[in-house]
Structure 1
Amino acid sequence: MLLALRAEWTGDDPKLLGRRGDAASNAFLLERLAEERPGDAVLSEESADDPARLAADRVWIVDPLDGTREFGIPGRADWAVHVALWQSGRGLTAAAVAQPARGEVYTGEGAPWRAGGAPRDRPRLLVSDTRPPAFIGALAADVGGEVHTMGSAGAKAMAVLRGEADAYVHAGGQYEWDSAAPVGVALAAGLHASRIDGAPLRYNQPRPYLPDLLICRPDLAERLLAALRTV
C-alpha cells in the first residue's frame, strides 16, 4: 500500500506525502488489529494515547511509517513499518519491522543473528540522518570506529542485523513506537539492545518517551557501553 501511494504521488511536497503515508498506514494497521485482536490495546504514534493501555495485558506498539522524511524522498529505502506486541509481566513478546522499499520483513521469529566473519577493525556506527548524538565523534574516536548516517530507526537496526553495520547509537529523543519493534527483532536475533547507559528498555510506560538507544553486535556491547560512560 505504501509503495503504491509513493509510486502514484504526483505532488511536489514530500512532507505531505509523508503525512498521507502515516495516515494510510495507521488506518490500515488499526483496522487489522481491531479485527484480529479486538481485546488488545494499541499505542500508535499517529493516534491519541489511551491511558487504558496501562491496565491492559496486551498492547500493540506501532509506528505506521518510521522515517516519514525518507519516505517522501524519491529513491530512499531507509524507511520502515514497526509493529510490536508488549505483554504484561513479559515485556516485548513479538515484533516485526518491514522495509517495503527493500521487499523485506524482519520478525522476532527470524533466523538468529550471526557474525559475518571477524569483527571490523573499525566498527561501523549508524546514527540518525537528522539528529546524530552530540557525542558521536568522541565515541567513534574512543572505539576507533567510523560514523554513517541513515534514516528510520528500524532501517538502522536492521542494517546491524544484516551485518552491514556494527552498532546503532541514538540519543536525540525517541518514543516507544520508534524502538519497540526494532528492539524486539534485535533481541530475538541475539543482538544487544539497551539504553546508552546499559539500562533495560521498558515499554508501555505512562509517558512513552525513550530518549536513547544502543543496538549492536553482542561482542561489541561491553566496549561501546564502557566508552559511552566517558563521552
Structure 2
Amino acid sequence: MALDFARRGFKSWTKAHASPVTEADIAIDRFLKQRLMAARPDFGWLSEETADDPSRLSRREVFIVDPIDGTRAFAGGLPDWTISIGIVRDGRPVAAALAEPEANRVFAAALGHGATVNGRRIVSSSRAEVHGARMAGPMAMLERSHRQGAVLLPKIHSLALRMAKVANGEVDASFAGGQSHDWDLAAADLLVHEAGASLTGFDGSVPVYNRPKPTHFPLVCAGSGLHRQLLDERR
C-alpha cells in the first residue's frame, strides 16, 4: 500500500508541532488497526495516527504502531522510511515487525527467539571502541564521539530504522533525542535486544511502554561493549 502511494502520489498536510502526515499514513493505520485488532480484540492499541484511547492503559498487551516512521522521507521521495509494529506486554516489547519497503526488507523478532531480516538471523556489531565506529543520530549527541574518531553516517529519517540497523550490524551506535515516542521505538527495541545489543537511557534504564504519556528520554543504542563505553563517557 505504501509503495503504491509513493509511486502514484498522495495528499499531505501538517498536524501538531508542524509534523507532516500523508494519505498513506492514514490509510495504512486504518488497515493495520482493522486487521490486527480483528485478530487480537483483547489487545490495546496505540498508534501515531489514531486518537489515543486511555483504555489501552488497562490492557496487559498492546499493539504499538507507526504506519509510516519517517514521514518526511516518505513525502520527500527518500527511501529511509519504515512501517513499525510492536506488541508490548506489561510495558516491554515481546514481538516486533519492521518493514523497510524500499529495500524489500522485513525485520522481525520475538522475545527469546532472536531477530531476523527476511528470515536471516541477525546480530549486532561486536565493536567496542568509539574510534572508527559508525554512528547515527542528532548531531549534538554525536559531537563527543566524532572528536574521538567515530564515523558519522548520513541522517536516517526513520528512528526505528536507525535502531534496526544497529541490530543488523550496519551501524555500530545510534542515538535518539528526547521526545521520541512509543511508536518510534517499541518494535526496534526488541529487534536490538534480540540481536545482542542494548537500547537504554544514559542511566542504563530500558524504555517502558504503554504509559499515560508515551514519550521517552534521550537514548543510546549499541552493541554491548560499545554501549557500556558510551554510557560511561556520558555519566
Same fold (TM over 0.5): yes
Q: CA deviation at 1:33?
A: 1.2
Post-superposition Cα deviations, 1:76-121, rounded to whole Å, max 9, x if no partner, equal 2110011111112x72111111101111110114224154789784
The amino acid that maps onto 2:133 is: P
- Moved segments of 4+, more than 4 Å: 13-18, 116-121
Evaluate the alpha carbon distance shift between residue 87 and residue 29 of structure 1 in structure 2; reply closer, same or farther with a 3 A threshold.
Answer: same
Q: 2: distance between equivalents of 1:77 and 1:133?
A: 21
Matched, 1:3 2:3: yes
Number of residue pairs aligned between Structure 1 and Structure 2: 221
Structure 1 runs not aligned, ≥5 long: none
* Correspondence for 1:40: 43
The amino acid that maps onto 1:79 is: W
Higher strand share: 2
Q: 1: distance between equivalents of 2:10 and 2:210?
A: 39
Alignment of 1:109-148 (within 5 A): 109=110, 110=116, 111-115=121-125, 121-127=131-137, 132=138, 134-141=140-147, 143-148=148-153
* Correspondence for 1:31: 34
Q: Output the aligned Cα RMSD.
A: 2.4
Q: CA deviation at 1:18?
A: 4.5
Matched, 1:161 2:171: no
* Correspondence for 1:224: 230
Query: Is this contact kept in 2: 1:175–1:211, CA < 8 A?
Result: no
The amino acid that maps onto 2:211 is: Q
Structure 2 runs not aligned, ≥5 long: 111-115
The amino acid that maps onto 1:211 is: F
Query: Is this contact kept in 2: 1:78–1:152, CA < 8 A?
Result: yes
* TM-score normalised by structure 1 residue count: 0.86
The amino acid that maps onto 2:205 is: A
Evaluate the alpha carbon distance shift between residue 162 and residue 211 of structure 1 in structure 2; reply closer, same or farther with a 3 A threshold.
Answer: same
* Correspondence for 2:113: none
Query: Is this contact kept in 1: 2:181–2:216, CA < 8 A?
Result: yes
* Correspondence for 1:86: 88
Query: Is this contact kept in 2: 1:85–1:94, CA < 8 A?
Result: yes
How many percent identity over aligned positions? 30
Q: Which moved more, 1:63-72 or 1:169-178?
A: 169-178
Q: CA deviation at 1:176?
A: 0.9
* TM-score normalised by structure 2 residue count: 0.85
Q: 2: distance between equivalents of 1:104 and 1:119?
A: 29
